[in-house]
Amino acid sequence: MRRTSAALIGLALFGVLLGALAERASAIPAFARTYSLSCSTCHAPFPRLNGFGEAFAGRGFRMPDPSAEPESATRETGDPKLSLPATLPLAVRMEGHVVGQEGGEADLDFESPWVFKLLSGGPISPKLSYYAYFIIEQGGVEGLEDAYLHVHELFGQPVDLLFGQFQVSDPLFKRELRLERSDYEIYRVRIGEARANLTYDRGLMLFGTLPGEIDTTFQVVNGNGIPEGEFDSDSKKNFALRLSREFGPVRAGLFGYLGDEEGEASPHADRIVYFGPDLTIGTGGNWEVNLQYLERTDDDPYFLGPGAVEFETRGGFAELHFFPQGQQGDWVVSALYNRIESDDPSAERDDAAIAVNYLWARNIRLLAEAAHDLEADDSRLSLGLVTAF
């Protein structure tokens, strides 16, 4: 009942806001609408960010030169301590697919809407920004996923702070920006009864650049995901650190994660450790390769106490993007391979996918993807449409 009520309230709110902003919306995304720019300024193709888009988001959705901020974006109140957006930045993303799949309940399925997102974000003061979205996914109400405040240049220093709800893996490769339906499985995997993984969690993130041009991100999170009706389930906090540096067209990174999680009905705790490198090759050219490898150790994932057996999990993914017309062209071919080996058999993965994307318009992407699960020997063919406005 609570989920149904939340869905009705969310859709009603969407209808009211969309009606109020219909004149400004003009069927283009919120930030492009605010700055009167094409989606291609930040995306190549959407939702994948180019270098300018990554920097724009990293500044809290601000232009590099403050004088480039349009006066029309802020409401004049006569109060120098109040910087109020003239209108509420609002965007919608919708995604649907026609799917043929082996081993599914239906050989041919209409999975639409697969995703419906109501997004909002932008500056609310010279140093403070926000970002959040409400999502209905696979026919069910998920509620808020990303939802955070972003402080730019904390205390006047070249360090930014995110506080709220985000994905622990965001400093590595952002799941929300991938061009395939298939996912980055190493970030999603859970071991035994432990709830911690590298997707959504609540906490804070500090990021900046150390001497030697080393991009650094430090996180403190609850460590139990975002369960419904619950924040942290124990007094322990988990910590993550990611270091990376660019060497021309290559970006190399190193990630570590350490935390303890107590069982819901047990006084015992599971010590969780992640460690591994990531690599991006070919940034900005006609092709790009993304590589991620992680090892995870759980010393008591079933919260059994003394005598518990340690579980080891290792794996990652390899991703290739090919832009035959360059990164601003209409076509992109992407391939993704996931491989995970684990002492927990339910965590093992071995699958591959190849996707062809075509930009029908800057904010309308057609997708065809063939995926194969090598463990289950099942195949899936998806034909879909993704749009944002």
Q: Does residue 171 or residue 107 have the better pLDDT?
A: 171
Structure tokens at 369: 């993807």
Q: Give the pLDDT confidence score for residue 231 in this predicted structure.
A: 86
Q: Give the pLDDT confidence score for residue 69 in this predicted structure.
A: 67
- 116-128: pLDDT as tens digits: 999 998 888 888 9
Structure tokens at 241: 């650190």
Neighbours of 279 (CB within 10 A): 15
Q: Has residue 18 got a pLDDT over 70?
A: no
Q: Give long-range contacts, CB 8 A cutoff, 24+ apart: 142-146.
A: 143/6, 143/228, 145/200, 145/226, 146/176, 146/200
Q: Does residue 252 or residue 71 have the better pLDDT?
A: 252
Neighbours of 118 (CB within 10 A): 19
Neighbours of 19 (CB within 10 A): 10
Q: Has residue 19 got a pLDDT over 50?
A: no
Out of 159-163, 195-199, 283-287, 334-338, pick the least confident.
Answer: 283-287
Q: Has residue 7 got a pLDDT over 70?
A: no
Q: Has residue 12 got a pLDDT over 80?
A: no
Q: Has residue 371 got a pLDDT over 80?
A: yes
- 142-161: pLDDT as tens digits: 888 999 999 999 999 999 99
Out of 102-116, 134-148, 232-246, 267-281, pick the least confident.
Answer: 102-116
Q: Has residue 33 got a pLDDT over 90?
A: no
Q: Give the pLDDT confidence score for residue 58 in this predicted structure.
A: 75
Length of the chain: 389
Q: Give the pLDDT confidence score for residue 123 in this predicted structure.
A: 87
| Mean pLDDT in residue range 108-135 | 90
Average pLDDT over the chain, rounded to whole?
86
Q: Does residue 108 or residue 71 have the better pLDDT?
A: 108
